[in-house]
Structure 1
């Protein structure tokens, strides 16, 4: 479960956020804070107790401290939580400031449950793309993780014929297989044709994300398996 701290000075809005979180599988509300100081205290206490906060839903306009300053202060907590800024501020200067203070996503008030769930779904994909404990993180890993945080419209600028979601699913299938996979196996796992799987696997290989390994059987053509490069020791 992803542990969530809700930081919102309006009690009714905070409860609405709690209700929304409760409706999204895989998330649980670990606490609610109505001021910036309470938020920092709650995050520090949770970390000290061994039950750290994973994600903070941060109202920017808090009564005591700017939510962005609170987000920046979280970098001193270990492990530090991720922050989704929730605000009615629409000016670009505020957005830039949020990014500079470590905010991973930005949600504008008022919003629907659908918009809220979309942000949490993207956050889950972000966490999966940068799985804790991996032995190596490549530039491709980082780019993919940051890419899932962008809106579908932003992600549509991918190379022609390459669907980012399909590429991510195929990469994840190979990464999760200790012995690697062939194109047919990937196609079955992801739900695409063998030819489509092969095309995406070849792109991953060309980008040095996976490694090709040729297997020679007793009869027939050689079979190519694709192995996650971190697993192959490369």
Structure 2
């Protein structure tokens, strides 16, 4: 199967190169081009016909959402993943109304970037695998099925109920406090890699959410918070 072709639309040259390196690391993708202005993005889109566009929102000459709407108005087959520093709810709403596949907030860590591309890849391959769909397929594509309640007997293979209980215990009684994977590892007594794996699982069942937290110095740190 051919690789999915990506067009990166980002005005910051350094960031666009980072995202290009990220994309090339994910199996099944190739970077067809990089546009650092919205004008170039329009020209390159017409020529390259990408499957996926990684789009920033803020450009000196305009808003990336206008480019998204213009492409969408032409019945394009390309999907969009927005990668932006915009944290306003109205920006997220506009992205959803515009049909964006995902919305990533800068600075993007590779794990989250990779997760988004893999979901896109499986989504596209699933659409191409059959001419007909069942209701369960529709539910999966529109993400409307609720996660079933998790019990010690219903956790998926590879998730140990006792370890999961230890990880959950770290967040019980926390009042909006976030924990890094390293902190959870120290408190629960499991390895850092195990802690991270269980934390990401708890995100998948909507028990936790993650955010990048900036300290006074150094790089931002990924911390995990209990859903309210």
TM-score normalised by length of structure 2: 0.60
| Secondary structure of residue in 2 paired with 1:103 | coil
Among 136, 139, 142, the alignment partner of 1:140 is 136
Q: Distance in 2 between matches of 1:80 and 1:69?
A: 17
Q: CA deviation at 1:90?
A: 1.3
Among 144, 148, 161, the alignment partner of 1:158 is 148
Q: Distance in 2 between matches of 1:58 and 1:68?
A: 9
1:66 corresponds to 2:56: no
Q: CA deviation at 1:158?
A: 3.3
Q: Distance in 1 between matches of 2:117 and 2:98?
A: 19
Q: CA deviation at 1:137?
A: 3.3
Q: CA deviation at 1:63?
A: 2.0
Among 103, 106, 116, the alignment partner of 2:103 is 106
TM-score normalised by length of structure 1: 0.58
The 8 Å contact of residues 130 and 141 in structure 1, kept in 2 or not, is answered as no
Q: CA deviation at 1:62?
A: 1.7
The 8 Å contact of residues 84 and 104 in structure 1, kept in 2 or not, is answered as yes
**Gaps in structure 2 of 5+ consecutive residues:** 157-228
Q: Distance in 2 between matches of 1:139 and 1:70?
A: 33
The 8 Å contact of residues 58 and 83 in structure 1, kept in 2 or not, is answered as yes
Q: CA deviation at 1:25?
A: 1.2
**Gaps in structure 1 of 5+ consecutive residues:** 47-51, 164-234
1:129 corresponds to 2:126: yes
Among 34, 51, 54, the alignment partner of 1:54 is 51
2:17 corresponding residue in structure 1: 15
1:89 corresponding residue in structure 2: 86
Q: Distance in 2 between matches of 1:119 and 1:81?
A: 15
Query: Taking structure 1 as reference, are residues 67 and 19 closer, same or farther at Cα in structure 2, changes over 3 Å only?
Result: same
Q: CA deviation at 1:79?
A: 4.1
Q: CA deviation at 1:140?
A: 2.9
Q: Distance in 2 between matches of 1:70 and 1:138?
A: 34
Q: Distance in 1 between matches of 2:72 and 2:139?
A: 22
Q: CA deviation at 1:98?
A: 0.5
- Structure whose CA Rg is larger: 1
| Secondary structure of residue in 1 paired with 2:60 | coil
2:26 corresponding residue in structure 1: 24
The 8 Å contact of residues 11 and 34 in structure 1, kept in 2 or not, is answered as yes
Q: How many residues align?
A: 151
